[in-house]
């Protein structure tokens, strides 16, 4: 029986090549996209899920309740909270601390490398987390001060073929560390990333470090709870704990800190700075995946029902020969399943082949075979069963219900079925038109973001990171050298680069009793000129004016926030009094997701050292200028590796995820439209085939080719019109919500929907017309002879 079905199915597939081609190809494409999206979703959901004790691991986060009622949540805090919690709560079995990254140089013999992901970590780090350990003793490697664990890629760069174990490396040319362990690089789906881990105990030997409760917020604390502990029960005890250790002292400042526990597997999706955007992306991709599945499924159902009338005779015959409805349903379902299986097989090959391209698009490395974990496999099976059911049920149930006698007469093309087919087609086009519109809006917003004036110069500015004490201390000399290069107009030293967000500190402005959080940037007197900033009032730091050392500038937003009509001369307190000498016009020092916040510009960097130099040059030959910069750098700092970034590029870099998102979205929507068009192609081909005789008669009666094309296009185009009426409002709604994620946007431009509409109509028309032209230009006698 099954053999018989398979034979019929296979012969059918081969006989109606266009139909089966469209069906299989459309489904393959659809499933590949769904697979790829699943792969991506799986990747994002798999973050930190591979730690054996993940259920018991938590990150401590701190929510500050200050005068500005809504506090900011951060997981970067002071060092003692972990040890104190372990000491006071039996629920806390272990803790480990991880310092925020501070780029540094590691050197061994002649080789010096800048390492961005270098952190201090407790020795318990490797017992709490399951990073792949390759050499050394995981439990004790970071116990002693001045020990370091390297990842293999870094070790290889630093040591070449030498065995790094037990060797001594220098940190910023000052401190010596012994290599006590080697691990593999952390997997991409780990929110903890590191290249080198220094022992945390080293920090306690550094007198410059403040390791107490109040200050020096640079550390992230992870807790391993004892078994069967409900985290909320522990959280309930935290307020008194926090009161004892810090909140009592903070009371006079009006700030209270609330400690919370973030489950490890939730961190990536819920507690990262990028989490909100990520969830939007996941939702968008999940949604597109579902839509693509619907489009591909609709194709399948549509083509199958359209063709079902052709097979009505077969159904009639089989019924007369004794086929029960069940048998027929099984047959049609089986055929659908066969197609789905073929498409699935192809989709896997397709996905495998395109994984690298896709990875580039999304910015991740995928291993397609990685999809075979239990959860994803289950999801996939679910998807396949759904598609088969979706694709098989309509023809299966409806054709099998036909009365044998009617089926044999071939009178099975009912009007109502046409209705369903049209409704499905409308859904398809509504999705396609909506996706086109969304793509345009996303494109428009990204263009806006990339080209919006930020209030400062971005072009022609080169940023040189100053890593390590030694380099930072030679900043002034380096600056002098760089200024002598031809074309260099100015060099400024600064703590952070505007455009990518700035740190916040607590300040007490004049007239306030409690401290408020403001963004802060520490710069020298050249900052204004190099970045082309404008002042609203007052003046900037003067050259060689020691009196200005304590002075600060504020931005317009801060002046507004403090209600200072005349800010010049007011005082702001943090480690002493700072007079305001000027107000800078607002500029976008963070990404356009954020509105411009309050900002203080000081001349006093932390520890007295600036971390970057920004160099502005007007030059026709960047290659030459850069090599000049390099040679000056090497002259002043022969030990330190040279590194630079163009400011405009690094600002654009922060929209990298969005650019990727846009590209992926564009690809997905183009492909989904392609799949929908394949369906239309198939349907119009069937319609044309069925009406060949009609076309012949019309032509004999004098219809022109254009008349015939219009005849076939009209119906389809009307449906596309209806579809746009459904798709566009939905697209508008979702895009409106998406744009709310940006503090600055243009709204949705008026031309988006007309353009999307024109595009949709055009491609739909071309698809139908191409097929219709063939019939329309044929000799009518030939058409009639078909009968």
Partner 1 sequence: MIRLRDIERYYRNGLRKAWVLNQINLDIKEGEFVTVMGPSGAGKSTLLNIIGMLEEPSGGEYFFFDEPVHKFNERRRSDLHKAYMGFVFQAYHLIDDLTVYENIETPLLYRNVKGKERKSMVAEILDRFNIVAKKGLFPEQLSGGQQQLVGVARAVISKPRLLLADEPTGNLHTKQGDQIMELFQELNEEGVTIIQVTHSERNASFGTRVIELVDGNVRSDEQIRQPAGQGDAPKGVPNGK
What is the contact surface with partner 1 in residues (CB under 8 A)?
A: 1, 4, 7-8, 11-12, 15, 313-314, 316-324, 327, 403-405, 408
**Which CB sits closer to partner 1, 192 or 315?**
315
Least distance in Å: CB of 786 to partner 1? 15
Q: 266 Cβ partners below 8 Å, 6+ apart? A: none
**Which CB sits closer to partner 1, 314 or 556?**
314
Least distance in Å: CB of 4 to partner 1? 6
Least distance in Å: CB of 2 to partner 1? 10
Q: Max Cα separation, the chain?
A: 105
Reduce the DSSP state of residue 565 to 3 states and report it. Answer: coil
Cα gap 118→198, rounded to integer Å:
7
**Which CB sits closer to partner 1, 328 or 516?**
328
Q: Concatenated DSSP letters for 585-617?
A: PP---S-TTS----EEEES--GGG---EEEEEE
Cα gap 377→370, rounded to integer Å:
10
**Which CB sits closer to partner 1, 317 or 385?**
317
**Which CB sits closer to partner 1, 168 or 317?**
317
Least distance in Å: CB of 13 to partner 1? 10
**Which CB sits closer to partner 1, 322 or 754?**
322
**Which CB sits closer to partner 1, 12 or 280?**
12
b/e for 289-318, b at 16 or more Cβ within 10 A? bebbbbbbbbbbbbbbbbbbbbbbebbbeb
Least distance in Å: CB of 20 to partner 1? 13
Least distance in Å: CB of 321 to partner 1? 4
Cα gap 37→672, rounded to integer Å:
13
Least distance in Å: CB of 324 to partner 1? 6
Reduce the DSSP state of residue 420 to 3 states and report it. Answer: helix
List Cα–Cα distances, 304 to 4, 168, 588, in angstroms.
Answer: 20, 71, 56
Least distance in Å: CB of 357 to partner 1? 39
Asked if 554 and 599 count as a contact pair (C-beta separation under 8 A), the reply is yes
Backbone angles phi, psi at 488, to 5 degrees: -80, 120
List Cα–Cα distances, 35 to 27, 93, 377, 657, in angstroms.
Answer: 12, 41, 10, 21
Give Cα 551 distance to the centre of its chain.
41
Least distance in Å: CB of 312 to partner 1? 12
Least distance in Å: CB of 317 to partner 1? 5
**Which CB sits closer to partner 1, 14 or 544?**
14
Helix H or strand E encompassing 385: helix 374-394
Least distance in Å: CB of 21 to partner 1? 18
Residue in 641, 639, 661, 659 with CA at minimum distance from that of residue 649:
659
**Which CB sits closer to partner 1, 320 or 477?**
320
Between vectors from CA 783 to CA 777 and to CA 787, what angle results, nearest 5°? 165
**Which CB sits closer to partner 1, 403 or 704?**
403
Asked if 5 and 321 count as a contact pair (C-beta separation under 8 A), the reply is no
Least distance in Å: CB of 303 to partner 1? 17
**Which CB sits closer to partner 1, 313 or 512?**
313
Backbone angles phi, psi at 634, to 5 degrees: -65, -30
- Enter the DSSP assignment of 226: P
Least distance in Å: CB of 673 to partner 1? 33
Cα gap 100→630, rounded to integer Å:
29
Residue in 486, 481, 425, 490 with CA at minimum distance from that of residue 457:
490
Helix H or strand E encompassing 515: none
At 464, list the tokens.
């040189």
**Which CB sits closer to partner 1, 323 or 723?**
323
Asked if 517 and 72 count as a contact pair (C-beta separation under 8 A), the reply is yes
Cα gap 438→730, rounded to integer Å:
10
**Which CB sits closer to partner 1, 1 or 701?**
1
Length of the chain in residues, anyone?
Answer: 787
b/e for 398-421, b at 16 or more Cβ within 10 A? bbbebebeebbeeebeeeebeeeb
């Amino acid at each position: 029986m099954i053999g018989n079905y398979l034979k019929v199915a296979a012969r059918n597939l081969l006989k109606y090549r266009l139909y089966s081609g469209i069906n299989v190809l459309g489904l393959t494409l659809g499933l590949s996209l769904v697979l790829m999206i699943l792969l991506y979703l799986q990747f994002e959901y798999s973050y930190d899920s591979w730690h054996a004790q993940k259920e018991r691991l938590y990150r401590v986060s701190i929510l500050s309740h200050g005068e500005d009622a809504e506090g900011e949540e951060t997981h970067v805090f002071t060092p003692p909270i972990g040890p104190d919690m372990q000491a006071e709560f039996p629920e806390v079995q272990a803790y480990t601390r991880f310092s925020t990254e501070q780029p540094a140089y590691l050197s061994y013999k002649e080789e010096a490398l800048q390492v961005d992901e270098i952190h201090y970590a407790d020795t318990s780090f490797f017992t709490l987390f399951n990073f792949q350990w390759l050499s050394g003793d995981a439990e004790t490697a970071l116990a002693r001060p001045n020990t370091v664990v390297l990842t293999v890629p870094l070790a290889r760069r630093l040591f070449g073929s030498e065995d790094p174990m037990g060797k001594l490396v220098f940190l910023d040319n000052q401190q010596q560390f012994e290599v006590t362990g080697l691990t593999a690089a952390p997997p991409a789906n780990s929110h903890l990333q590191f290249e080198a881990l220094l022992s945390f105990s080293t920090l306690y030997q550094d007198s410059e470090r403040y390791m107490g409760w109040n200050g020096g917020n640079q550390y992230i604390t992870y807790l391993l709870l004892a078994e069967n502990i409900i985290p909320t029960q522990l959280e309930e005890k935290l307020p008194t704990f926090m009161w004892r250790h810090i909140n009592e002292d903070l009371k006079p400042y009006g700030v209270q800190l609330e400690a919370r526990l973030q489950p490890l597997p939730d961190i990536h999706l819920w507690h990262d700075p990028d989490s909100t955007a990520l969830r939007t992306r996941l939702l968008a991709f999940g949604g597109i995946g579902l839509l693509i599945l619907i489009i591909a499924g609709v194709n399948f159902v549509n083509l199958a029902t359209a063709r079902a009338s052709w097979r009505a005779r077969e159904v009639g015959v089989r019924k007369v020969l004794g086929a029960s409805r069940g048998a027929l349903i099984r047959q049609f379902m089986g055929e659908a399943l066969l197609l789905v299986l073929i498409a699935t097989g192809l989709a896997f090959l397709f996905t495998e082949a395109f994984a690298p391209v896709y990875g580039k698009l999304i910015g991740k490395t995928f291993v397609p075979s990685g999809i075979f974990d239990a959860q994803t496999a289950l999801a996939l099976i679910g998807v396949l069963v759904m598609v088969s059911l979706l694709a098989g049920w309509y023809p299966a149930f409806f054709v099998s219900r036909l009365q044998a006698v009617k089926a044999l007469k071939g009178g099975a093309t009912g009007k109502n079925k046409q209705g369903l087919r049209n409704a499905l087609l409308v859904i398809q086009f509504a999705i396609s038109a909506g996706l086109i519109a969304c793509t345009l809006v996303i494109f428009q917003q990204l263009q806006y973001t990339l080209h919006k004036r930020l209030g400062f110069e971005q072009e022609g500015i080169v940023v040189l990171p100053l890593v390590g004490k030694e380099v930072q201390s030679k900043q002034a000399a380096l600056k002098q050298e760089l200024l002598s290069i031809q074309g260099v107009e100015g060099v400024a030293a600064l703590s952070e680069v505007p455009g990518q967000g700035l740190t916040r500190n607590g300040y007490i402005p004049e007239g306030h009793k409690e401290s408020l959080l403001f963004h802060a940037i520490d710069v020298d007197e050249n900052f204004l000129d190099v970045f082309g900033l404008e002042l609203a009032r007052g003046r900037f730091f003067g050259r060689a004016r020691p009196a200005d050392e304590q002075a600060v500038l504020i931005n317009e937003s801060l002046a507004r926030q403090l209600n200072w009509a005349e800010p010049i001369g007011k005082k702001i307190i943090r480690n002493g009094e700072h007079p305001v000498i000027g107000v800078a016009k607002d500029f976008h020092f963070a990404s356009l997701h954020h509105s411009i916040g309050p900002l203080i510009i000081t001349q006093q960097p932390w520890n007295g050292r600036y971390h970057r130099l920004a160099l502005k040059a007007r030059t026709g030959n960047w290659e030459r200028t850069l090599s000049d910069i390099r040679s000056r750098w090497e002259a002043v700092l022969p030990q330190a590796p040279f590194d630079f970034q163009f400011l405009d590029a690094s600002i654009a870099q922060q929209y990298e995820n969005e650019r990727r998102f846009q590209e992926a979205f564009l690809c997905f929507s183009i492909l989904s439209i392609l799949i929908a068009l394949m369906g239309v192609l198939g349907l119009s081909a069937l319609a044309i085939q069925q009406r060949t005789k009609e076309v012949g008669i019309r032509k004999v009666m004098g219809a022109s080719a254009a008349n015939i094309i219009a005849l076939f296009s009209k119906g389809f185009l009307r449906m596309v019109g209806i579809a746009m009426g459904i798709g566009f409002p939905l697209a508008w709604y979702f895009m409106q919500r998406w744009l709310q994620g940006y503090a600055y946007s243009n709204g949705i431009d008026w031309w988006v929907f007309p353009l999307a509409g024109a595009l949709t109509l055009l491609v739909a028309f071309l698809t139908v017309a191409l097929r219709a032209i063939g019939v329309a230009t044929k000799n009518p006698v030939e058409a009639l002879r078909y009968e």
